């Protein structure tokens, strides 16, 4: 079934919002002071992001493709797998969704933001940074992580077995994200999605949170540019070998 553009944009908006709620919500649960999940560990965060991709793909994959990621949208268009005329509307919907999702995290965890005095813990629930303070490592991690994510997602969702059983394909995509966060997520977070990083970073700058520290704009280009570059290569590999 072909859905109207506005319906597809609504799906992208809601799907990206869910990604933020599940993913950054999990980080807030682990990092912020006095939550029920405080210090519950990295697997909680990995599970949150895995579910944060899995559920939108299940819910909206048949509607909009559940791209929920500007890097994916740009990569598909760059490889002639998505119309350029719809790139800007899709990205705008994803940006709005990321803002809505992050605001939901902020509102629901407000008492814990108020009580947390660690700037790093607060920032982690919004955006990414490199644990070693290395911009080159930051770029490489986001580049290769997104390359693997996009290649894996396209293989799962577009090859015959995935088209025959989209529910199982959606589960597989969620597990790819879960696996990436546990394997390549240590250095940066990871972001793997420009909307997931840039929009929360802006909200981090704007929201009145005590002890929030710097929004680290000097490195903000990395989790935008690196995922787009990695996604384009990942989609190219899929298109050149499997499509």
Q: Do residues 170 and 57 make contact, with C-beta atoms less than 8 angstroms apart?
A: yes
Q: Do residues 53 and 68 make contact, with C-beta atoms less than 8 angstroms apart?
A: yes
Q: How far apart are the first and last CA of the chain?
A: 21
Please state the rounded mean pLDDT for residues 187-208.
Answer: 97
pLDDT class for 19, splitting at 50, 70, 90?
very high
Coil, strand, or helix at residue 7?
helix
| CA–CA distance, 235 with 219 (Å, rounded to integer) | 25
Please state the rounded mean pLDDT for residues 152-176.
Answer: 96
**What Rg value do the Cα atoms of the chain yield, rounded?**
17
Q: Which two tokens stand for residue 218?
A: 């000097």
Q: Is the pTM of this model over 0.95?
A: yes
DSSP label of 186: T
Reported as a single tens digit per residue, the pLDDT across 137-149 is: 999 999 999 999 9
pLDDT class for 233, splitting at 50, 70, 90?
very high
Reported as a single tens digit per residue, the pLDDT across 78-112 is: 999 999 999 999 999 999 999 999 999 999 999 99
Buried b (16+ CB within 10 A) or exposed e, 19-34: bbbbbbbbbbbbbbbe
Reply yes or no on whether the pLDDT at 1 is more than 90: no
Reported as a single tens digit per residue, the pLDDT across 120-140 is: 999 999 999 999 999 999 999
Q: Which two tokens stand for residue 11?
A: 């799906």
Q: Do residues 45 and 121 make contact, with C-beta atoms less than 8 angstroms apart?
A: no
Return the pLDDT at 109: 98
Q: Which two tokens stand for residue 204?
A: 């981090």
Q: Do residues 66 and 60 make contact, with C-beta atoms less than 8 angstroms apart?
A: yes
């Amino acid at each position: 079934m072909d859905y109207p553009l506005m319906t597809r944009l609504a799906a992208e908006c809601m799907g990206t919002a869910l990604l933020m709620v599940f993913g950054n919500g999990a980080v807030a649960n682990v990092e912020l002071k006095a939550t029920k999940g405080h210090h519950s560990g990295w697997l909680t965060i990995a599970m949150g992001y895995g579910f944060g991709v899995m559920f939108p793909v299940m819910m909206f994959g048949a509607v909009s493709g559940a791209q929920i990621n500007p890097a994916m949208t740009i990569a598909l268009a760059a490889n002639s797998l998505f119309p350029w005329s719809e790139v800007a509307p899709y990205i705008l919907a994803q940006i709005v969704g990321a803002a809505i999702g992050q605001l939901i995290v902020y509102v629901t965890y407000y008492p814990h933001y108020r009580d947390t005095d660690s700037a790093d813990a607060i920032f982690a629930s919004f955006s990414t940074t490199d644990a070693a303070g290395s911009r080159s490592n930051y770029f490489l991690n986001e580049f290769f992580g997104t390359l693997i994510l996009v290649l894996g997602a396209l293989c799962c969702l577009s090859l015959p077995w995935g088209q025959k059983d989209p529910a199982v394909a959606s589960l597989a995509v969620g597990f790819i994200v879960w696996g990436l966060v546990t394997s390549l997520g240590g250095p940066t977070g990871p972001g793997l999605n420009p909307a997931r990083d840039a929009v929360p970073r802006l909200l981090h700058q704007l929201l009145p949170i005590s002890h929030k520290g710097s929004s680290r704009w000097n490195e903000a280009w990395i989790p935008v540019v690196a995922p787009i570059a990695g996604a384009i290569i990942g989609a190219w590999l899929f298109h050149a070998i499997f499509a």
